[in-house]
Structure 1
Amino acid sequence: MTVVKQEPRFEKGQRPVRIANCSGAQYDPGRQMRKQASLGEVDFLTGDWLAENNLAQEAAAMSSGTGEGFKKKTWDALQQSMDVIAEKRLKVVVNGGGLNPKALAWRCQELINKNKYNLKVAFVSGDNRLSHVQESLKNNVSLPQHFHDDVHNAALAKTKEARSDLKDSDILASNAYLGARAIVKGLENGADIIICGRVADASPVVAAAWWWYGWSDQDYNRLAGALIAGHLVECSAYVTGSNFSGFHRFDLDTFVDVGFPVVEVADDGTCIVTKHEGTNGMVTEDTVRCQLLYEIQGSSYLNSDVKAILDNVEVHQVGKDRVQVSGVTGRPPPPTTKLAIFYAGGFEAQILVNAAGYATSKKFTLFEKQIRIALSQKGLLESFTELEFQVVGRPQPNPHSQLQSTTYCRVYMQSMSKEPILALSQIFDDEIMQHYSGWHMSADLRMMAPKSFYAYYPAIMSQDELEEAVHLLAQDGTIANSFEGGHPSKYEALEKPPSYDSVNPLPLDSFGSTTSLRLGDLVLGRSGDKGPNINCGLFVHHPDTWEWFRSFMTLKTFTALLGGDGDNNYHIERVEFPKIYAVHFVIYGILGRGVSSSKLLDNRGKGFADYIRDKYINIPSRFPSWSDAD
C-alpha cells in the first residue's frame, strides 16, 4: 500500500480538522485503520469497536480466561498502523479498550518502545460502574433507575423484567457512556494515542474538534455540529455506501470494498463528509441522509457534553463524494448519562426446520402443535420464558426450483436453566419420525444446544457522580500523569420527546390519481436498534413529493404499516425533518430486552425500514419512481 505523504500541517485550528473513521463494529479489520492513515491527509484516526453487548462479551471472556478485556481487532489495527501514525504524527482516539483500556494502552506503549516511536499513549477511565451497581443491588435489592422510566413504562415493560432472584454476582458488566472531556484533557497534555472504554460512539470526533479549535464546554452549537459529524462517521462505511437502501440504482461493483469515511469539521461545527479519493463507495446526499436518520432518538441527539437539535438540519452535495451538513444547533447536556447494565439472562437456543411449498402453513401448524402438546404433557410448557415458532418466508407461486418453494420455521426458546431446552431437544428426537410431509432440516440438532445469553438493562446515572479521567503512560508503562475530566458546567433537564403528525397536512386526493406501488419505489430510509427500540427514518427527494409524504405518513399510517409486527403496547413517536424531506419514527419496546436477548430474527432492526418500504401503497401517478429492485 502506498502511503500518501502528509504535507506540513497548518497551525492547529486554522483550517477544518480532518478525522478519518476506521471502524464501526467489533468485526472491522485492522487494515481499515492503515488504509485510512495511508491513503490521504488526515489529522485524526477514530474507531468505534463497541456495541451494546460487547462489554458483556468481554466480561464473560475475562471470567473464563479467554480474553483480556479489550477488543482484539482494535489491537490488530494499532499494530498494523503504528508506523504510519508515527511517521505522519497522527492523533488516534478509539473506544476499543473495552473493559481494560489500560492493558491495551500498555500494549501500544510496548510497541512504541520497541520501535522507538515518538508517541505518547493515554487511556480513559471512569466508565466502569460494575462495583457501584453490584453494591446498589446488594444494599437496595434493585437496579438503578430505568432509562425513560417515567415516560414509556408500558412500552419498555419487557426490558424491566429483571430477574426476581437477581444477585450482585449476576451482574456481568455495567458501563456509563462518557463524553469527550477526558479525551480533550489527554490531547491538551500531549497524548497522541488515547484508548477509551465505553465512551459514546461520537465522543472521539467531538473531542478531536473540541481540542483542535479550543472550544469551551458551552460552545453548544459547535459541539452539537461535531456530535452529528461523529454520528455520521461512527458506523464506518454506513455513510459511504454500505447498508444503503438506494444501492440497487447503481453499478453493484461500486459497493465492493467500500472506502471508509473522512469528516472535515469546521470551526462553526458544520462538517463535510467525504472519503479518500480512489476508494469504492459513494458519499451523496442520500447516503448521508440515511446515516443521519440511523439510531437517533427523534429530533434531538443526546450526549454527555451537548444535546444536538436536528429540526433544521440540512444536507447538500458540494462536490464529488463531498456532502456538507449544517443547521444543527446545540443545547446544554442532560444531567444524566446512559448506564448500560448486563446480567446473566439464562439460556437460549434455536432450531430451523424446512418445508417445501404445498400446504406449508398447515405443516408448520402441525409441527408447533406436536411440540407444544408434548411439552405440556411433561409439565414443561411454562418453563420457557420465550418459546416462539417463527415462520420465515413464503413459497413462491409456481416455483421454478425447490429452493423457490422452500421456507423454514425458526423455533426460538429461552429459559432460566438448561433443562427445559434439553428436554425440548429430547422431545424433538422422540417426535422426529412423526413429521409433516416433506420435512427436512437446515442443520443438525447441535443448534439446539443451550447457550447462555446476556440480558440488557438500560439505566441512567447522574453525570456528577462520574469520576472520568485520562492517564498518560510513562515509557515503563506506569502512569506518568492523570487528569480529571470534570463535569459539564451547565445542564438542561430531560424533557419528554416530541411526537406529532404534520401540521396542516394536505388532502391526499389533491395530488391526483394514484398507482399502487411499493413505498420503496419512491422512498429511501434506514433503521436500527437503540436498546429495546427500533428507529426508522424515511425520506423523499423533492418539495412536492415531500408535501404528499408528510401528509400521508402519519402515526396512524405507520402503525398500520407495521401489520402483524405491531402491538398496542408499543409507544411510537413521530417527528419531521423538513429540510431533508424526512419523517422519523421510534418504536419503543419492539426489540424486547435489546440486541443481546431479543427473540426477533432481525434483532438489530436493520431490515425493518426495507420491510416497511416493501409495502404496497397508493402513490400519486405524477411522481417519478424507480422499480429496479427484485
Structure 2
Amino acid sequence: MTLPRPRSTRPLSASPEVIRIGNFSGFYGERHSALQEMLDGGDVDVLTGDYLAELTMLILARDRAKDPALGYAKTFLAQMRQSLAAAYAKNVQIVVNAGGMNPAGLAARLRDLAAELDVPARIAHIEGDDLTDRAAELGLGQPLAANAYLGAWGIAECLRAGADVVVTGRITDASLVVGPAAAHFGWGREDFDALAGAMVAGHVIECSTQATGGNFSAFTEIADLSRPGFPIAEVSADGSCVITKHAGTGGAVTVDTVTAQLLYEIQTARYAGPDATARFDTIAVTDDGPDRVRLSGIGGEAPPPQLKVSLTRLGGFRNEMAFMLVGRHIEEKAALTRRQLEQWLPVRPAQLEWDLARTDTPDADTEERAAATLRCVVRDTDPKKVGRLFSGTAVELALAGYPGFFLSSPPREASPYGVFTAGYVDAALPEHTAVLHDGTRVAVPPTPTTRALADVTAPPIPAATAPGPSRHIELGEIALARSGDKGPHANIGVWVRTDDQWTWLVNAMTVERIRELLPETADLPIQRAVLPNLRALNFVIEGLLGEGVAYNARFDPQAKGLAEWLLARRVDVPAALLSD
C-alpha cells in the first residue's frame, strides 16, 4: 500500500512547546516488538533506538571484518519490516545508532526495504565517526575499530531536511534525543542549558525500560513489572522535560526509577558530550503526577575540545573451566586441583587465574547447595596455548583428582576476546557528515566554543548528627543503588529518600567504607562524587573490570550486580532514620 504525503516542511511535533521523544531499544538484543509497541501505545513524535554498547562495537567490527557489507544491527531491519509503514503513516520519525560500523550500508538496506514495502520514507544517515583507517596517524594505535563519539547536529540537519529515518554510527547515546529536540526548537550551538537538558533526557531514556522499573533495586515496590513499558521524554523548549510512558503499560515512572537511571554509568557531576556538558549537580527531580517525573533546572556548559573515541582491539584468546567441588574439604580440594593442573599443563598460558566461589552451605539438603565452584581462566595471544591444550588437560584430572570430580562443561576451544579503551581526538578531526535522504552531503562542524573539563568544587557536607541508638541492617533497607560499566571501570550510584537520611549517607559512605564493604575494591582507586540535589553519591571504581566487558575479568563482567552486592552488606544505621 502506498502512503503518499508531502514531507518537506512538516514540523517534528504539532506542539511548538513540547516534543515527545520515546525510546524502544537500549541494547542490541532488546525486545523485538518494542518499536511496534511504542507506535501502537499512544502519541509520540520521534522514536529513538540505542544499539551500541561497547561490546556491541566489537561484535559489529568482527561482522564487518568478515563481510564489508555488514557491521550494522541486523535486528533493526527486521523491526522496520514490521513497523516502517506504521511509523510513516503516523508521521513518527525514527533515529537510531543501529548503523554501528556501517551506517551507509544499513541506510541502503532500509531504502531497499522501503521500496519493497511501497512506503515513500526518506532515509538519511550520518558518517564520519569511523576513524579506523586514520587511527595510526592520529596516535590511536592499530585497533580493530576506532569510532569517535559524534554529537547531535548531523541528526538535526537530516531531520530539518525532511528525513523520516536517520541512521547513525557511533554517536553519544544522549545525542539521539538532543538532535530531534534541537531541530524542533531551533536551538543554536551555544544554547548550552537547553542542550544539557536534552542530554539529561536522552541519558534517562537511552536504556529503555531501566527508566520504567527495569534493573531497579526497589523493584518490589512496583505493582506490575511483568512487561515494563518504554520511556518517553516530553522535552520543552528550555530543555526541561517530563519522563513518562504510554498509559496502560507495565512498570512505573517514579522519582526513584528516574534517579536510578540518572546515576547509571556516570562519573563526576560534569556529564560531558560533544554537544554540551550537563551539570548533574543542578538537576531537580520532582514528581509530576502518576508515571510522570519532571527534570528541570539543568545547567549546561560548553563541550570539551576533544571527542572521545571508542577503540576496539583483539586482546587475545581465552578459555575457562569450572571444577565443581562438593561437600567437605573444599579448600583442600581446590588447592589440589590448582597444583595438579598447573603441573600437568604442557605449556603455561600468559595469564592463568583461579577463583573459588564458596557457594556451599553446611549440612546442605541438596547436592547443589553443598557445592562450590573453582574457576580457572586462561588468556594468551596464542590460541593453541588456551585451547584444547588447556581444557583437555583439565579433563585429564578426572580420575586422578579430588573425590567427586566433575566439571560444569565439556572441554572447548579458545575464543577471541576484545579490549575496549578510550582515546581522544580534537573535535574538528572527524569528518562529521550528514548524508541527506536525497544524497546531499552536508559537513557538520564542531561547536566553536569549548571548555576543558575540570573537577567540580566539592559541595559543603552537612555535619553528622549526634550518634544515638542504631541498628545493624542491610544497606538496602535505607538506600537504593544502581551500578554499571565504563570500559575497565565500574560505577555505583547510591541515594536515599529523605534529607536526614542524606546527612547520614554522605558522612557514612566514604571511599574507605566502600573498600570495607566491597573487599574486591580494596586495592583499587575509587573516586566519589557528591550530588546533594539527588541525595546521591557516585563511586567510580577504576580497573575493577580489567580491560572491559569482553575481557571478562570477573563473573559479573559489566558490574550490573555490584550495587546489589553493596545493598546486601550490613551497616550500622541510626534507628531514628528507619520507619517501622
Bucket of the pairwise TM-score, normalised by the shorter protein:
over 0.9
Q: Mapping of 1:476-625 within 5 angstroms?
A: 479=439, 481-495=440-454, 497-498=455-456, 503-506=461-464, 510-563=466-519, 565-568=520-523, 570-624=524-578
How many residues are paired up? Answer: 570
2:398–2:406 Cα contact (<8 Å) kept = no
1:222 corresponds to 2:181 = no
1:13–1:212 Cα contact (<8 Å) kept = no
SS at 2:312's partner residue? Answer: strand
1:184–1:208 Cα contact (<8 Å) kept = yes
**In 2: Cα distance, 1:196 partner to 1:356 partner:** 51
User: How big is each residue's C-alpha offset from its partner over 1:83-105, in whole Å with a ceiling of 9 and x where there is no partner?
Assistant: 11111111111000111111211
User: How big is each residue's C-alpha offset from its partner over 1:41-97, in whole Å with a ceiling of 9 and x where there is no partner?
Assistant: 000010001111322212212322497111011112222110111111111110001
**In 1: Cα distance, 2:459 partner to 2:287 partner:** 29
Corresponding residue of 2:429: 465
Report how far residue 361 of structure 1 moved. 2.5
Corresponding residue of 1:418: 383
Counterparts in 2 of 1:257 and 1:393: CA distance versus 1, 3 Å: farther
Counterparts in 2 of 1:393 and 1:224: CA distance versus 1, 3 Å: farther
Counterparts in 2 of 1:617 and 1:357: CA distance versus 1, 3 Å: farther
2:321–2:394 Cα contact (<8 Å) kept = no
Considering Cα pairs closer than 8 Å and 6+ residues apart, tell me whether 1 or 2 has the greater RCO. Answer: 1
Corresponding residue of 1:430: 396
Report how far residue 13 of structure 1 moved. 5.5
**In 1: Cα distance, 2:546 partner to 2:516 partner:** 20
Moved more, 587-596 or 328-337: 587-596
Corresponding residue of 2:101: 99
Corresponding residue of 1:152: none
* Amino acid in structure 1 at the alignment position of 2:357: V
* Amino acid in structure 1 at the alignment position of 2:181: A
Corresponding residue of 1:443: 409
**In 2: Cα distance, 1:194 partner to 1:175 partner:** 18
**In 2: Cα distance, 1:13 partner to 1:124 partner:** 27
Report how far residue 279 of structure 1 moved. 0.8
SS at 1:526's partner residue? Answer: strand
Q: Mapping of 1:172-251 within 5 angstroms?
A: 172-251=144-223
Moved more, 537-546 or 312-321: 312-321
Report how far residue 250 of structure 1 moved. 4.2
* Amino acid in structure 2 at the alignment position of 1:84: A
Moved more, 386-395 or 482-491: 386-395
Report how far residue 234 of structure 1 moved. 0.3
* Amino acid in structure 2 at the alignment position of 1:486: P
Corresponding residue of 1:326: 296
Counterparts in 2 of 1:625 and 1:339: CA distance versus 1, 3 Å: farther
RMSD: 2.0
Identity %: 31
1:269 corresponds to 2:239 = yes
User: How big is each residue's C-alpha offset from its partner over 1:13-63, in whole Å with a ceiling of 9 and x where there is no partner?
Assistant: 523110110100000143101111221000001000111132221221232
**In 2: Cα distance, 1:519 partner to 1:571 partner:** 22
2:461–2:506 Cα contact (<8 Å) kept = no
**In 2: Cα distance, 1:59 partner to 1:555 partner:** 38
Structure 1 runs not aligned, ≥5 long: 1-7, 137-141, 145-167
Report how far residue 9 of structure 1 moved. 8.1
**In 2: Cα distance, 1:110 partner to 1:426 partner:** 49
2:54–2:487 Cα contact (<8 Å) kept = yes
Report how far residue 524 of structure 1 moved. 0.6
**In 1: Cα distance, 2:405 partner to 2:369 partner:** 16
2:285–2:534 Cα contact (<8 Å) kept = yes
1:501–1:574 Cα contact (<8 Å) kept = no
Report how far residue 501 of structure 1 moved. 8.9
Counterparts in 2 of 1:236 and 1:23: CA distance versus 1, 3 Å: same
**In 1: Cα distance, 2:374 partner to 2:292 partner:** 45
* Amino acid in structure 2 at the alignment position of 1:513: P
Structure 2 runs not aligned, ≥5 long: 1-9
SS at 2:144's partner residue? Answer: strand
Report how far residue 125 of structure 1 moved. 0.1
